[in-house]
Amino acid sequence: MTLNINDINYANEMNEHAFVTLFGCLFEDSPWVAKEAWQTGKPFHSWEHLYEVMVIIVRSASEGTKLQLLRLHPDLGAKIRMSNHSVREQRGAGLDDLEPREYEEFSELNRTYTAKFGFPFIIAVKGKSKDDILQAMKQRSTNHAEAEWTQALSEVEKIAAIRLEKLLHNNE
């Protein structure tokens, strides 16, 4: 589907089902964000406004809902079923082709991180290499829980922005 990136009215004129189907992928397996945006945020004045409405919805969610959102993200480098967006994003960072040693290192860091924080390590991987991500995992694993909670939610917002940008430029 090609979006007219100059005309936000395209989104404003969609019915709820079409809107949620198209924008429900921005936040990992969380179409509720798009549904609430459609129900409460219209009319959108720009694509940036649509994104801002969605971010406000996530930021306004309960701690439990935010935790569920974080837990929907797959472990980086894991060989598990994940959304098409996550598959493409991880492939772009080379995480789909890890050597056995790298796979073990990522797996161990994922386990340690999740045990400490209660949710998987989340980072917007666009423009990052395997080594960049590995270093970030090691560094962020030393964070205090509150700082890492804030960082993880910030990364979720970055991922959503990247996905919206790709969608607007027909690079789903």
Per-residue pLDDT at 172: 47
**Cα distance from N-terminal residue to C-terminal residue, the chain:** 9
**Which residues form the catalytic set?**
73
Per-residue pLDDT at 152: 98
Per-residue pLDDT at 82: 47
Per-residue pLDDT at 103: 82
Taking the C-alpha atoms of residue 26 and residue 159, their distance in angstroms, rounded to an integer, is 8
CATH architecture, domain 74-163: Orthogonal Bundle (1.10)
Question: Under a CB-based contact definition with an 8 Å cutoff, are residues 90 and 122 in contact?
Answer: no
Per-residue pLDDT at 13: 92
Per-residue pLDDT at 32: 98
Q: What is the pLDDT along the chain (172 residues), one digit of tens a residue?
A: 556 666 899 999 999 999 999 999 999 999 999 999 999 999 999 999 999 999 999 999 999 999 999 999 988 766 555 466 655 666 655 666 777 888 888 889 999 999 999 999 999 989 998 889 999 999 999 999 999 999 999 999 999 999 999 988 875 4
Give me the residue spans of the domains in the chain: 74-163
Per-residue pLDDT at 89: 64
